[in-house]
Amino acid sequence: MLNTIKESLWTQFGASIDMLENAITSYPEDHWDNNRKFFYIAYHTLVFLDYYLTIPHKNQPAALPFTLAASEDEIDPDALDDIMPDRIYSKKELLGYLQLNREKCRQVITGLTQEQLGERWIEDGGDMNYAVLEILLYNMRHVQHHAAQLNMLLRRQIGSAPGWVSRANVRSAE
């Protein structure tokens, strides 16, 4: 049963990551510097993908560094939250971070044991307290939510968006 859970979790989580990758890849280079909303959504998604995959939870620096805004005045109007990237990273840099996260996700899922599925992922301060299986599902939903937002922006701005990815490659979870 554990192998079925891990394989199913990977094929669906990997598909969400694939959809995020497809959206970032599809965004035209000439729009990159003109529309920060797309960048901020993609960046936010990658930072939190990494954060929620850190099991057990601990604060660690992101591969593409950011600073927490100290006040509302420091937050770009296009940003989603107070996590302000240290600079506007290139599409290539975001896609590189995505690949690191994909591998981290694959390793976390393939390394899961029955006991780990029920262990707790607890954020500092205790605001988020989930079983490991639940934080993985939460993370997958978060990625899919923002991949859909990026696809909506693509449709509005360039008139097309990548299609649905039903499953990631099972072999990449072995």
Task: Provide CATH code, domain 2-58+89-173.
Answer: 1.20.120
Quick check: 64 pLDDT over 60? yes
Mean pLDDT of the region 83-96: 96
User: Between these two residues, 173 and 163, which has the higher pLDDT value?
Assistant: 163
Nearest in space to 44 (alpha carbons), one of 5, 2, 92, 98: 98
Euclidean distance between CA atoms 155 and 140, whole angstroms? 23
Quick check: 173 pLDDT over 70? no
Quick check: 17 pLDDT over 70? yes
pTM higher than 0.85: yes
Mean pLDDT of the region 163-172: 82
User: Between these two residues, 60 and 114, which has the higher pLDDT value?
Assistant: 114
State the average pLDDT for the chain. 94
Quick check: 110 pLDDT over 90? yes
